[in-house]
Amino acid sequence: MGSDPTVTFAPWEIAVEVPHGTTLLEAADQRDVGIEALCGGNGLCGTCAVEVEAKDPPLSPLDPDEKTVLDEEELAAGYRLGCQATVEGDVSAFVPASSRSEGEIVMTEGAEIDFEHDPAIRRFQLAFEGPTLEDTLPDRERVIKALTEEYGLDIDTVDRVALTDLPSTIRDGKTDGKFRVTATVAEETEILGVDPGRTGPAYGLAIDIGTTTLAIYLLELRTGEVEAVDSKINPQSTHGGDIISRVQYSTQKPEGKSELQREIREAVNDSIDTVTDEADVDPQSVYEAVFVGNTAMHHLFLGINAGAVAATPYVPANRARLKTTARELDLAMNPSGAVSWLPIIGGWVGPDFVADLLAAGVLDRDETVLAIDIGTNGEIAVSGPEQTYVASAPAGPALEGAEITHGVRAKPGAIEAVSLDPETWAPDLEVIGDESPMGICGSGIIDVVAQLFLVGGINRRGRLIDPEDGRGRIREGGDGSRDFVLVDAEEADVDEDIIVSQDDIRDIQNAKAAIQTGTNVLLEEAGIESVDRLVMAGGFGNYIDPESAKLLGLYPEVDVDAVEFLGNAAGYGAMYALLNRDAKAEADHIVSAVEYVELAAWDGFHDLFMEAMYLPHRDFDRYPSIKERVEAAQGRPAEEL
Amino acid sequence: MGSDPTVTFAPWEIAVEVPHGTTLLEAADQRDVGIEALCGGNGLCGTCAVEVEAKDPPLSPLDPDEKTVLDEEELAAGYRLGCQATVEGDVSAFVPASSRSEGEIVMTEGAEIDFEHDPAIRRFQLAFEGPTLEDTLPDRERVIKALTEEYGLDIDTVDRVALTDLPSTIRDGKTDGKFRVTATVAEETEILGVDPGRTGPAYGLAIDIGTTTLAIYLLELRTGEVEAVDSKINPQSTHGGDIISRVQYSTQKPEGKSELQREIREAVNDSIDTVTDEADVDPQSVYEAVFVGNTAMHHLFLGINAGAVAATPYVPANRARLKTTARELDLAMNPSGAVSWLPIIGGWVGPDFVADLLAAGVLDRDETVLAIDIGTNGEIAVSGPEQTYVASAPAGPALEGAEITHGVRAKPGAIEAVSLDPETWAPDLEVIGDESPMGICGSGIIDVVAQLFLVGGINRRGRLIDPEDGRGRIREGGDGSRDFVLVDAEEADVDEDIIVSQDDIRDIQNAKAAIQTGTNVLLEEAGIESVDRLVMAGGFGNYIDPESAKLLGLYPEVDVDAVEFLGNAAGYGAMYALLNRDAKAEADHIVSAVEYVELAAWDGFHDLFMEAMYLPHRDFDRYPSIKERVEAAQGRPAEEL
């Protein structure tokens, strides 16, 4: 049989060589591929089921446990139990979301929710007399009358579908001579459903559709508790990882738009199934969903032509918050449920950033605030004393580790944090999953560049210094380009040195300059020089080391105490919109109140950008604490750097 | 080949024996089955196409004309040209609506439309600047701004589906540097569609869904012109001709409700196809539909559980006017089109009667008005000086000729009018299609009873007089029952005498007493004894001879000049609601302003009913003109009748 077979785990494409007879679960454990195994690998629970698509894969034959635990549909689809199936040859296994204990790191924890809890959807218990020949008030008006008399509500609408079964549901609720029902009401004005008797709580969904990942939170609306969470890769990714190529797919391919819409809708519905299953909640009792995401994801989810978003002047189809019913979008919840997408500021400042601002309460603060959501596209807001300005900075994917020589996503084997010894520049690495390193993810590459700047490996223009002074870690290629060697090949899980090239450093400089320039433009528009508070929104902001970001000049000088990390602020904003009925109007207010600044059309943008290519900025005196720190680290005045 | 073959024409099931070699068209002509033949039977126009479902029917082989005129689909479905195909054996042919020159008589002509013409749906031409980097207003808000600036509209909504293509449609409309589009706007507040360039007019549908028939009117909204009309049998009829049995089908059979909903929806969509085809109108430019019909048809169309409508206390699911979009109901028009059903007064006083009252402007008049819509269920309104009262009278089907010994629908061969010679009682008949009579339709049976009363064939209690005095036309059965012989068998197109039995007369008396009692209850509620004006609404009111109705006491004494016949007032009301944007609010006002009187719960109803069983009423003095007329006709005082 020769060499050991290789198992490749999708969707991460993590490969591992294992001896014949190793179980898939054991193989996964060797690379920290997180497969759930609640029964301890005894073939009882089925949580380790993985999908093996190949016909007659080189695995042990199905054993009786597998035939018992897996159902016919799963068996037909090629599912196997990771703890029972043993490897007999090269094989690829897909780990479905339901079987993952960890894996790709997707932020799903929002910050603490701290606001007045007053959901738009509420349930009301009613008991009223039924009709007689003397009192023939129709059912709809009878329920409305009861809501008015018992709770003072002023109902103006009853959902069309909710009406269809109203005659039978109220009669089904007849006990002790009265009609006893539970009415589910939105905004105290619209009846979305009537159920016989006394029912359990109503639920809502906060849904964050990112370009890469999709996150869903199931909340009990009355208590505000998060009952279940699911996240998965946005399936549209296969038609383009970045927004532009995905939008092009939607506009250039016949049926592309409807294909993308169908894919993301099915993924959302799968996730709704997952969270309602997990929390043992009837999807019919899910009565609201609030969506956030960037403008392109908004358009693609709703089937709106997104062509104009991806081409200059990058105009969205709408600014307004959209409201519809679950049935209009074929969502796997109550068909009368209220569905909304938060409103849009611009083609590149979407509902996700509106949710950030909403969650952070940026417009409500008395202090001046800078809010940044770092991603391929960085969204920035500066809230001055009189006006809030927002902009979108095209940072590119470098800050996320993409298009970097050894860039990888945050996954087992990725270097996520780096510090360099001030003298030897020997790196101290943190690797996800405590494995041999196989690449550098976004937070790691930012650390490397920041550390190189701190120890003097690059000058203020980002140029790697002469290899002679490079502690043996800077080397020159034949074409005159220079690389910084982070990990030698023998210590790495790849066949070559893990390096950071001069071009990689340039990419990081460009990205940080884009965000820094956007910030500086907005500060200038707001007429202020410094901010009282910095809000880092977005999952990525959570992973970046704030000191590294500060060293690079990614944000202006502020006290460490004045920095807030809001994690998945977009999801948090969606939850806020779900749990507080005024929040949607607040979101509308944000959109109408802020002033959008188009950087591409801003006079002097280019000059500011050039200044921002320096580390941390051409004008070092604007960053006194960094200047002091770098001078101390290198033992020489800033002028010599 | 023996005897002559028989051709049976569906849907009327009219059978005719013809010699071999007769064309289907000639066969049809013999029985006045109206088949269109625009080209004079020369095989050119195709208007005489009929469907012959049998495989290998006993007809002449397809001739070249038929292969030319009929298309493949028609040929595959068994269509033949009536003017070419000759009969070689017993055969059944269905005459599709498109080939009928007459046939079942369905009122489709509304009265003259005479009201302020101001449709809710209007189209606006726009020309505006496109976005630039300096002006990134989103598309939706840009179109709204143009509508506000150019026309002063205050738009608050853009239909979700209309938004999906907005980015491409406005850009497709770019000419001479400006975006030129046509916006279709409802109520000056909601954008339902945006098309590039300058488009043609918008259209609307007025749709009247009767228990038996369905009528659709396509109107150009700007001009108010009726562009095309279609009517057909309500396909739900196969699951019960009357409301009660149809509702039972919907509630008792699994999937019954959705089956009935699907059937009527498909019939409506077929009719929409027919009228848009006929008028050469793109269904996408049909932006509104207003529906009327009785409460049960309303519920069954919308998929609302109708069980409570058909059982005491006969309560509808809703009173309110329902509004939705065409796509919610899968209608074959613009998916963003506005669809509404007029509101409901009660389980047996539905949107159709609201439309009657709306069309007749009953509540707006300074005079006192009695409005009656006669059908299986008679709806009655009395509009007094202060209040309008409405009631539903369960007349039963007798007035329409159903459940009468020789009752038939209004169709060729039906006796539709009768007068009796005062001396000999010899009948003078009017038969639809000028054929040999084969039965009596509703207007005919009312004539017979009224004439019998006038000439003295029945007494004031409706009892047929002694056969000895019966001019040879009254005969007694063995069981003591009496019949009036209207047509001898040899003159009839059936194998027996066409008679009117004592029971038939009772049925008519019961029906008229129901309506008369309802009227009298409402007059009493209103505190008035006579009305200034009588409005006969509904198709059936058009066919009844007003003199006969008056003789029976179907309505109170009013001047002939004070009677208005509104024909298909319900359809007319729907058209009004389509062409005048205030009309829907007027309909809402009607529903909230009228007082519904439940006859079954009304004290003293039984006594009033017994009085109304007399002809024209126990108190003859309340009908002085009838008293005088009958006395004159019979030459004896009323006391002796």
Rounded mean pLDDT, B602-624? 95
Shortest alpha-carbon distance between residue B305 and chain A (Å): 6
Domain termination site, one of B99, B127, B142: B99
Residue A84 lies in a domain: yes
Q: Taking a contact as any Cβ pair under 8 Å apart, which residues of chain A between 299 and 328 contact chain B?
A: 302-308, 312-320, 322, 324, 328
> How would residue B114 be classed by pLDDT, with cut points 50, 70 and 90?
low
Residue A81 near residue A48, CB atoms below 8 Å: yes
Q: Which residues of A touch B319 (CB under 8 A)?
A: 137-138, 140-141
Distance CA B628, CA A619 (A): 114
Distance CA B50, CA B36 (A): 10
Residue with tokens 């590039």: B196
Q: Which residues of B touch A139 (CB under 8 A)?
A: 308, 315-318
Distance CA A604, CA A429 (A): 40
> How would residue B272 be classed by pLDDT, with cut points 50, 70 and 90?
very high
Q: Which residues of B touch A326 (CB under 8 A)?
A: none
pLDDT in tens, A613-639: 999 999 999 999 999 999 999 999 988
> How would residue A111 be classed by pLDDT, with cut points 50, 70 and 90?
very low
A-B Cβ pairs (cutoff 8 Å, strict): 143
Tell whether B258 and B306 lie within a shared domain.
Answer: yes
Cβ separation of A305 and B166 shorter than 8 Å? Answer: yes
Confidence check: pLDDT of A557 > 80: yes
CATH of residue B148's domain is 3.10.20.880
Rounded mean pLDDT, A550-560? 89
Is any Cβ of chain B less than 8 angstroms from the Cβ of A514? no
Rounded mean pLDDT, B216-227? 92
Nearest to B571 by CA among B226, B101, B220: B226
Cβ separation of A344 and B598 shorter than 8 Å? Answer: no
Identity of the residue in A158, A165, A322 whose CB atom sits nearest the CB atom of B305 = A165
pLDDT value, residue B297: 97
Rounded mean pLDDT, A1-16? 75
3-state DSSP assignment of residue A505: helix
Confidence check: pLDDT of A77 > 90: no
How many secondary structure helices (H) and strands (E) does chain B include?
A: 18, 28
- Is the bond into B616 cis (omega within 30 degrees of 0)? yes
Q: How far is CA B368 from CA B361, B364, B557, in A?
A: 12, 10, 13
Pick the residue from chain A with its C-alpha nearest to B295.
A138
Residue A596 lies in a domain: no
How is residue A209 written in tokens? 């559709």
Distance CA B540, CA B376 (A): 10
Q: Taking a contact as any Cβ pair under 8 Å apart, which residues of chain A between 150 and 189 contact chain B?
A: 158, 160, 163-168, 171
pLDDT in tens, B126-163: 999 999 999 999 999 999 999 999 999 999 999 999 99
Q: Which residues of A touch B328 (CB under 8 A)?
A: 160, 328
CATH of residue A28's domain is 3.10.20.30
Cβ separation of B316 and A137 shorter than 8 Å? Answer: no
Cβ separation of A346 and B136 shorter than 8 Å? Answer: yes
Identity of the residue in A133, A303, A304 whose CB atom sits nearest the CB atom of B313 = A133
Identity of the residue in B133, B167, B316 whose CB atom sits nearest the CB atom of A305 = B167
Q: In terms of residue numbers, what domain contains B70?
A: 6-99
Tell whether B217 and B140 lie within a shared domain.
Answer: no
pLDDT in tens, B411-421: 889 999 999 99
Domain termination site, one of A196, A228, A253: A196
- Strands B213-220 and B226-233, bridge-based pairing: antiparallel
Calculate what percentage of chain B has a pLDDT beyond 70: 95
Is any Cβ of chain B less than 8 angstroms from the Cβ of A132? yes
How is residue B446 written in tokens? 């009312």
pLDDT value, residue A53: 73
Tell whether B503 and B431 lie within a shared domain.
Answer: yes
Cβ separation of B133 and A315 shorter than 8 Å? Answer: no
pLDDT value, residue A66: 86
Domain termination site, one of A162, A196, A230: A196
Residue A490 lies in a domain: yes
Residue A105 lies in a domain: no
Distance CA B401, CA B315 (A): 28
The rounded mean pLDDT for chain A is 90
Residue A557 lies in a domain: yes
Distance CA B242, CA B393 (A): 15
pLDDT value, residue A100: 65
Q: How far is CA B362 from CA A315, B579, B589, in A?
A: 53, 19, 12
Confidence check: pLDDT of B490 > 70: yes
Residue A109 lies in a domain: no
Fill in the DSSP letter of residue A479: T
pLDDT value, residue A408: 87
Rounded mean pLDDT, B563-587? 91
Identify residue A88 by its one-letter amino acid code: E
Q: What are the helix (H) ranges across B239-316?
A: 243-252, 256-279, 295-302
Tell whether B232 and B304 lie within a shared domain.
Answer: yes
Nearest to B372 by CA among B516, B508, B243, B509: B516
How is residue B194 written in tokens? 């945006």
Distance CA A206, CA A271 (A): 12
* Dihedral over Cα of B294, B297, B302, B308: its sign: positive
Rounded mean pLDDT, B415-432? 94
Tell whether B510 and B621 lie within a shared domain.
Answer: yes
Of A29-33, A259-263, B234-238, where does the model show the most confidence?
Answer: A259-263
Residue A36 backbone phi and psi in degrees, to 5: -70, 145
Residue A141 near residue B344, CB atoms below 8 Å: no
Can you spell out the DSSP letters for A335-387? TT-EEEE---SBTTB-HHHHHHHHHHTGGG-SS-EEEEE-SSSEEEEEE-SS-
Cβ separation of A158 and B306 shorter than 8 Å? Answer: no
Residue with tokens 């309560």: B315
Confidence check: pLDDT of B98 > 70: no
Residue B498 near residue B406, CB atoms below 8 Å: yes
Distance CA B353, CA B590 (A): 10
How is residue B255 written in tokens? 């999937």
pLDDT in tens, A395-444: 888 888 888 999 988 888 999 999 999 999 999 999 988 889 999 999 99
Non-local (6+) Cβ contacts of A524 within 8 A are none
Residue with tokens 């630039």: B132
Identity of the residue in B324, B600, B601 whose CB atom sits nearest the CB atom of A160 = B324
Distance CA B626, CA B629 (A): 5
Tell whether A391 and A533 lie within a shared domain.
Answer: yes
Cβ separation of B134 and A600 shorter than 8 Å? Answer: no
Lowest mean pLDDT among A359-373, A539-553, B328-342: A539-553
Cβ separation of A140 and B344 shorter than 8 Å? Answer: no
Q: Which residues of A touch B347 (CB under 8 A)?
A: 136
Confidence check: pLDDT of A211 > 70: yes
Residue B590 lies in a domain: no
> How would residue A569 be classed by pLDDT, with cut points 50, 70 and 90?
confident
Identify residue B370 by its one-letter amino acid code: L
Tell whether B336 and B376 lie within a shared domain.
Answer: no
Q: Which residues of A touch B316 (CB under 8 A)?
A: 138-139
Burial A369-404 (b: 16+ CB within 10 A, else e): bbbbbbbbbbbbbbbbeeebbbbbbebbbbbbbbeb
Residue B35 near residue B95, CB atoms below 8 Å: yes
Identity of the residue in A167, A171, A324 whose CB atom sits nearest the CB atom of B160 = A324
Distance CA A577, CA A291 (A): 9
pLDDT value, residue A64: 84
Rounded mean pLDDT, B496-525? 96
- Is the bond into A11 cis (omega within 30 degrees of 0)? yes
The backbone region for B491, taken as left when phi is positive above 0, alpha when psi lies in -120 to 50, beta otherwise, is alpha
Rounded mean pLDDT, B427-433? 93
> How would residue A102 be classed by pLDDT, with cut points 50, 70 and 90?
very low
Compute the residue count for chain B.
641
Is B151 or B66 the better-scoring residue by pLDDT?
A: B151
pLDDT value, residue A1: 42
Tell whether A512 and A394 lie within a shared domain.
Answer: yes
Rounded mean pLDDT, B439-465? 95
Tell whether B622 and B570 lie within a shared domain.
Answer: yes
pLDDT in tens, B305-328: 999 999 999 999 999 999 999 999
Tell whether A56 and A166 lie within a shared domain.
Answer: no
How is residue A407 written in tokens? 């860039």
Q: Which residues of B touch A318 (CB under 8 A)?
A: 138-141, 158, 163, 166
Residue A493 near residue A437, CB atoms below 8 Å: yes
Tell whether B411 and B315 lie within a shared domain.
Answer: no
Confidence check: pLDDT of B332 > 90: yes
Identify residue A634 by its one-letter amino acid code: Q
The backbone region for B479, taken as left when phi is positive above 0, alpha when psi lies in -120 to 50, beta otherwise, is alpha
Residue B592 lies in a domain: no
Distance CA B296, CA B292 (A): 11
Number of structural domains in chain B = 4
Tell whether A498 and A617 lie within a shared domain.
Answer: yes
CATH of residue A216's domain is 3.30.420.480
pLDDT value, residue A512: 95
E strand map for B118-189: 121-129, 157-158, 174-175, 178-186
In this structure, the number of other CB atoms found within 10 A of the CB of residue A319 comes to 23
pLDDT value, residue A104: 35
pLDDT value, residue A97: 63
Distance CA A497, CA A491 (A): 8
